Amino acid sequence: MLRRALLVALLALVTVPIAAQGPAGWKVRPDGGNTTLSVMPTEKGFQLAGGPGIFFNPANTVKPIYRVRAVFTQLKAPAKPTYYGLFFGGNEMDGTAPEYVYFAIAQDGSFIIRHRAGAQVDEMDKSLHYAIKKPDAAGKAVNTLEVQVAPTAVSYLVNGAVVDATPTRGAIAGNSFTVAEKIGGIGGVRVDDPIDVQVDGFLFQSPFTLNDRGQ
């Protein structure tokens, strides 16, 4: 898999609990001090506006085996190509150097998998995939993203199709970021740049039924 280091702006030093109108227990963590990321509740979830940053509930913390899933609706076209999706394996989320892996999609039908630790981002994979629905003429697109963490592999799914999978044993041998010791932790939502996106049916389940696995 492609791996390359990317230097980014320093993360904000603390997480910010969202206002009372947001989902109880959830927190916003913008990437920088001048970044805004607002949250508004919806019937089945919440709507995010702004970015970059992450949105999470510390209660969604487990060790493998587990899965994270949500339906993402891009409400309008962003100002520039923007990745948005799920993160998992979050640790040190209230510290100066939070660490997690995130799986996100963009308007061109591509996905990325990246590991983030403080100000360093390592790209684990990036590719186009037919399963990702591109925006319509109004800039709207609906996609279901899922990450399944199992003893043998971490699988990444879009609309029920496996777009990538990392064998756990091979990952350990290759010093990958998806070893079991590093993928247990908090799960949530990630946006890489300002965007308006609705998130419905957020699911954080441990363990999950093996018959539901995408691999």
Measured CA distances, 4 to 68, 120, 121, 122, 213 (Å)? 25, 10, 8, 5, 29
Task: Please give the pLDDT value at position 70.
Answer: 97
Band of residue 184 on the pLDDT scale cut at 50, 70, 90: confident
Measured CA distances, 76 to 55, 80, 194 (Å)? 20, 11, 11
Phi and psi dihedrals of 125, rounded to 5?
-165, 155
Band of residue 210 on the pLDDT scale cut at 50, 70, 90: low
Band of residue 65 on the pLDDT scale cut at 50, 70, 90: confident
Task: Please give the pLDDT value at position 140.
Answer: 97
Query: CA-CA distance, 52 to 50, in Å (whole number)?
Result: 7
Task: Please give the pLDDT value at position 5.
Answer: 35
pLDDT of 109 over the 90 cut: yes
